[in-house]
Each structure stands twice: as structure tokens, then as C-alpha cells.
Amino acid sequence: MKALTLSVVLALPLMVQAQSRAFPAADLALGEKLIRENGCAQCHARQVGGDGSALYRPAGRINTPDALRGMVEMCNTQLNLQLFPEEVEAIAAVLNRDHYRFK
């Protein structure tokens, strides 16, 4: 168990570094807050059923950080959320961390 804990602790900076290269200026706490406040999971669940996570990583559609950012911007536009660019970036960074893991 100690070895597993140690390996997770040692790998954490690498995971954070990988996220920060894809979305270097992103505020993850802001992204998490915006996802909750705007009901993203509920909207996605209405679209695809279940918990909505099936919406993430459709085959071949979202394969770069820019494509992910573009999809968040599409939601922003379609739903008239009026998010600022740094808020779009923050949401994309959270989605990257939780679902996509682009480097």
C-alpha cells in the first residue's frame, strides 16, 4: 500500500504538468464551479442518457486540445452562456483532466 501511495504522489506532478501544457493558463477551480453552475452534466445527460459522460470522446471528433476548446465554445454559443474566453479555457481544462487527458 505504501508503494502505491508513493507512486501516486510521485506521479502527481507529472499529471499536473501534462494538464498545464494543454491548458497552461486555466483555472481548474473556476472550471469546476462553472460546470456545476451551468448544469453541464445535466444537459449532457439529457442528450445521451445516463450520467452524460458518454458525450465525452466521441470517436474521432475531439482529438486535440483545440477541438475540445471549440466544443466548449460551441456549448457557450448555442446555450448563450456568455462565458469569457478564460472561462471556456477553464471548463476545457477540467474536461481534459477528467476525460480527455491531452498533453
Task: Please say whether the dihedral angle defined by the alpha carbons of residues 71, 23, 65 and 50, taken in this order, is positive or negative.
Answer: negative
Which residue do the cell numbers 474536461 mark? 95
pLDDT digit string (tens) for 61-102?
Answer: 899 999 999 999 999 999 999 999 999 999 999 999 999 999
Nearest to 93 by CA among 18, 14, 37: 18
Distance between CA atoms of residues 19 and 79, nearest Å: 27
Nearest to 88 by CA among 8, 31, 7: 31
Distance between CA atoms of residues 72 and 88, nearest Å: 6
pLDDT digit string (tens) for 2-45?
Answer: 554 444 444 444 444 444 589 998 999 999 999 999 999 999 99
Q: Which three cell numbers stand for residue 12?
A: 502527481
Distance between CA atoms of residues 67 and 23, nearest Å: 12
Regarding pTM above 0.85, the answer is: no
